[in-house]
Amino acid sequence: MLKIENLHVEVEDKAILKGIDLEVKPGEVHAIMGPNGSGKSTLAQVLAGREDYEITKGSVAFGGEDLLDMAPEERAREGLFLAFQYPVEIPGVSNTYFLKAALNAVRKHRGEDEIDAVDFLKLAREKMKLVEMDEKLLGRPVNDGFSGGEKKRNEIFHMAVLDPKVAVLDETDSGLDIDALRIVSDGVNAMRNENRSFVVITHYQRLLDYIVPDVVHVLLDGRIVQTGGKELATELEEKGYSWLENDVAAAATA
Amino acid sequence: MDAVRDSTSAHLAGYESFARQLGNQPEHVVNLRKSGLDRFCDLGFPTTRQEAWRKTNVRRIAQGTFDRTTGVEGVDRARVEPFAVPGCTELVLVGGRRAEALERSAATLPEGAVVSSLAEAIESHPEVIEAHLGRYAPIDEHPFAALNQAWLEDGAFVYIPRGVVVEAPIHVMLIGHQPGEAPSVCYPRNLIVAEENSQVTVIETYAGHTGQHYFTCPVTEIAAAQNAIVDHYKLQEESTDAFHMAMQKSHQARSSYVFSHSLSHGGALVRNDIRAMLAGEGIECTLNGLYLGRGTQHVDHHMFVDHAFPNCHSYELYKGVLEEHARAVFNGTIHVHQDAQKTDAKQSNRNLLLSKNAMVSSNPQLIIFADDVRCTHGSTTGHLEDEAIFYLRSRGISEEAAKSLLTYAFAAEVLQEIRLDAIRTGFEEFLFTRLPKGDVVRQAV
Ligand SMILES: Nc1ncnc2c1ncn2[C@@H]1O[C@H](COP(=O)(O)OP(=O)(O)OP(=O)(O)O)[C@@H](O)[C@H]1O
Ligand SMILES: [Mg+2]
């Protein structure tokens, strides 16, 4: 579904990602953990098509196509979704109508008819229930004045409406209390199926207790230094990253 | 110096016979013209060495030759219709002259209210003219206002007597018109008088068709007596080959409300001087505006709010969207006199540049002599945020649509304040057609 090979990324001549290899098969959930500044969001943003980053080496295939060759909107229409670590506030643009326009862009790309206002509202209401989002947030401008938790729910709500093939969730758990975490996780779990894949970025094992991953990767200083099953998350929670950092340092000097 | 004198006199060609022919008008009117002429001859056209005109070069007007329009020949309703606003009482002026046959009115005026040309009003309402005309508009420092006054002859006249509420908006349509080969000029002089406790909405539309070369030099005076409520809209939709140099002055008495909205997107070279005198306690004054520029358009707004009495509120929000090589100037002054305690005045100017060649010069300022006041002012100029564009694109919205959507959202803040639905929705519709992906925007807002 998503195949990242030897991906190198720089920003302002500074190497951030230093050779990432990652393959996500249909239906799989991959977790990426790693300390602050290790490059998790950079990877997520590069996948979504953010242009501030320079890709110096490597490739990404998405459903067999060259992902890096597509504009951000094409990626979204092809079924890639990024839930932002910091969702952007857009005053003056209505959350509902904007999402309807986005959905119609996706549908048009798939060769489907545009959805009308009534059907869209029905769909939106149904998907809001999934994350128990307050209906009044529908009428407000995108993320404008939303609390941290509301923004994260709104991201998952957008995802549910747009129905992607691969969803990258960048620290969707930060800013959520334990109840909200459970609700949002249930929402994500309800969307899991054999065709849809997830890449879940987080610092904490707790999220992974709810969204149980098939594979866990550790990203350190722009490299995946460890890959394992869900028990790796528990190990990281207990030991932190320092034991891996030592490994990396040892590897680098060896 | 000779060049200056030449350009001044070129704009006064035929003046003697013009003045002679109107010589039997009331003394007040004759004197106004005389003072306008004297003042204009003293001032001449402004140069960029003068502070108030530093960023706006009017050489193209000063050195141009324009024929004064005298009639409405060759203009039919089809030329007017695109600018009509539904549900209004219309007054149509073509090249500064009333064209009654082109007016379509959806409502009848209440008893005593008058909507006519100024020329008619000078005959029919000499006492109102004497009491108000030329009492407010400052010509001393403003060459174009002085020039307008020198040529004072016709324009729009709106008079609402004491206690009268006019429900249907009054739409004054001033259609720019170039009848012959040469560029033309007209000097509309408009007077809006709202007596005590009256209420009225007046729209002034300045419009013309692309390719028409002309110069409009209007002055509008608005007198709002005690407790009067005046909603004023100015839509500047001149031909993009036209020049527009306008002065608008409102004079407010105790507890009156004036809501002024200026929506400006036409003209090659445009200047709006908008001034408000708050001459009583408990006044509310809103001056909002939106200006759009593209190509090589130049649009300049000079605002002046004069707080002379205590307990008044003034709010100003002006926003600009500039594309391509467009230039904008914003100069806003709030002047709070020593006696004007408890003044609450806000002024903000925000500009969005859509190209690296667009430019804005913004200069808001406060001059405060009272000590117990709340005054704020601010100005920002920026580009669309990459973060926001990327966020929208990451949901499947195209880059162009994302930019249009964000541009619309920027402008919409001003439109939201518009209380007259027909104007608000009309301008929204205009933006949908102007923005590159307006169809997506229409769906998404
Ligand atoms: N646009 C940018 N310009 C300059 N430096 C950047 C930019 N984006 C990221 N970086 C740098 O790249 C590194 C990786 O940042 P990134 O946001 O990907 O980390 P992260 O793993 O997501 O961290 P966190 O856990 O704090 O979210 C950091 O050192 C950061 O400062
Ligand atoms: Mg991050």
Asked whether residue B362 is assigned to any structural domain, the reply reads: no
Give me the helix-helix angle, A95-109 and A117-130, nearest 10°. 110
* Portion 384-443 of B in contact with A at CB < 8 A: 385-388, 390-399, 401, 405-406, 408-410, 412-413, 440, 443
Pairing type for strands B114-117 and B97-98 reads: unpaired
Tens-digit pLDDT string for chain A (254 aa): 999 999 999 999 999 999 999 999 999 999 999 999 999 999 999 999 999 999 999 999 999 999 999 999 999 999 999 999 999 999 989 999 899 999 999 999 999 999 999 999 999 999 999 999 988 888 899 999 999 999 999 999 999 999 999 999 999 999 899 999 999 999 999 999 999 999 999 998 999 999 999 999 999 999 999 999 999 998 888 888 887 777 666 655 54
Residues B176, B145: Cα–Cα separation, whole Å: 18
Name the domain boundary from B279, B297, B318.
Answer: B279
Rounded average pLDDT over B365-386: 96
pLDDT, one tens digit per residue, over B216-267 is 999 999 999 999 999 999 999 999 999 999 999 999 999 999 999 999 999 9
At residue A252, the pLDDT reads: 57
Confidence at residue A56, expressed as pLDDT on a 0 to 100 scale: 97
Mean pLDDT of all residues in chain B? 95
Could you say which of B252, B279, B306 is where a domain stops? B279
Q: Considering Cα of B437, then B438, then B443, then B445, what sign does the dihedral take?
A: positive
pLDDT at B57 over 70: yes
Residue B191 lies inside a defined structural domain of this protein:
yes
Contacts of B409 in chain A (CB under 8 A): 90-93, 141
B380 interfaces chain A, CB cutoff of 8 Å: no
Q: Residue B443: list chain A partners with CB under 8 A.
A: 97, 100-101, 104
Distance CA(B275)–CA(B299), nearest Å, equals 17
Only one residue has tokens 């174009």, namely B144
B77: phi then psi, degrees, rounded to nearest 5: -60, -30
- Residue B385 covered by a domain: no
Between strands B184-186 and B214-216, the pairing is: parallel
CA–CA separation, A4 and B91 (whole Å): 68
Q: Which domains does chain A have, with CATH numbers?
A: 2-253 (3.40.50.300)
The predicted structure's pLDDT at residue B68:
87
**Mean pLDDT within B95-115:** 93
Instruction: Please indicate, yes or no, whether residues B275 and B404 belong to a single structural domain of this protein.
Output: no
- pTM summary value: 0.93
Confidence band (pLDDT; 50, 70, 90) for B303? Answer: very high
Alpha-carbon distance B55 to B413, whole Å?
27
* Alpha-carbon gap: A28 to the closest alpha carbon of chain B (Å): 22
In this structure, is residue B321 part of a structural domain?
no
* Minimal C-alpha gap between B417 and chain A (Å): 13
Asked if residue B359 is part of any domain, the answer here is no
Distance (Å, whole) CA A191 – CA A161: 11
Other CB atoms within 10 Å distance of the CB of residue A23: 13
Q: List Cα–Cα distances, A40 to A200, A201, A202, B7, B32, in angstroms.
A: 10, 7, 9, 68, 74
For residue B16, count other CB atoms closer than 10 A to its CB.
9
Question: Secondary structure of A146-202 in the HEC alphabet?
Answer: CCHHHHHHHHHHHHHHHCCCEEEEECCCCCCCHHHHHHHHHHHHHHCCCCCEEEEEC
Residue B69: its pLDDT value, please? 78
What are the C-alpha distances in Å from A188 to residues A180, A218, B233?
12, 22, 51
**Structure-block tokens of residue A66:** 């060259």
% of chain B at pLDDT higher than 70: 98
Q: Smallest Cα–Cα separation from B215: which of B239, B186, B181?
A: B186
**Domain end position, chosen among B250, B279, B308:** B279
- Residue B3 above 60 pLDDT? no
The one-letter code for the residue type at A137 is L
For A74, the closest chain B residue by CA position comes to: B396
A71 near B CB under 8 A: yes
**B271 and B399: one domain?**
no
Report residue A211 as tokens.
């969204």
CA dist B240 and B213 (Å) reads 9
What's the pLDDT score for residue A241?
84
Q: Nearest ligand, CA of residue A203? A: 1
- Residue B363 DSSP label: E
Q: Is A142 left (phi over 0), alpha (psi -120 to 50) or beta?
A: beta
Q: Quick one: B370 exposed, middle or buried, by C-beta within 10 A (0-12, 13-18, 19+)?
A: middle
Whole-number Å distance between alpha carbons of A10 and B85 = 55
Q: Which residues of A touch B405 (CB under 8 A)?
A: 93, 98, 101
Q: Which residues have C-beta within 8 Å of that of residue A226, sequence separation ≥ 6? A: A217, A218, A232, A244
Cα separations in angstroms, B114 against B169, B439, B444: 13, 41, 43
pLDDT at position A248: 65
* Total domains, chain B: 2
The CB-side HSE value for B284 (13 A sphere, CA atoms) comes to 8
Clarify whether residues B110 and B240 are in a common domain: yes
Strands, E assignment, chain A: 2-11, 14-24, 29-33, 54-62, 65-66, 80-83, 90-94, 141-142, 166-170, 197-201, 215-220, 223-228
Mutate which of A8, A32, A42 for ligand 1 pocket (most atoms within 8 A of beta carbon): A42
Q: What is the ipTM of this complex?
A: 0.96
Q: What are phi and psi of B23, to 5 degrees?
A: -60, -20
Q: Tell me what pLDDT residue B1 has.
A: 45
Rama region for B430: left / alpha / beta (φ>0; ψ in -120 to 50; rest): alpha
Domain extent, residue B232, equals: 68-279
B25, part of any domain: no
Are A52 and B395 within 8 A, CB to CB?
Answer: no
Q: Do A92 and B440 touch (CB under 8 A)?
A: no
B409 Cβ neighbours under 8 A, 6+ residues apart: A90, A91, A92, A93, A141, B445
Cβ–Cβ < 8 Å for B371, B310? no
Whether residue B339 lies inside any domain: the answer is no
Cβ proximity of B281 and B310 under 8 Å: yes
B416 token code pair = 């939201």
In a domain, B177, yes or no: yes
Composition of chain B by helix, strand, coil, percent to 5: 25, 35, 40
The answer to whether the CB of B376 falls within 8 A of the CB of B343 is: no
Whether B397 and A105 lie within 8 Å, measured CB to CB: yes
Quick check: B398 and A90 CB within 8 A?
no
B168, burial (CB in 10 Å: exposed 0-12, middle 13-18, buried 19+): middle
Please tell me the predicted confidence (pLDDT) of residue A213: 97
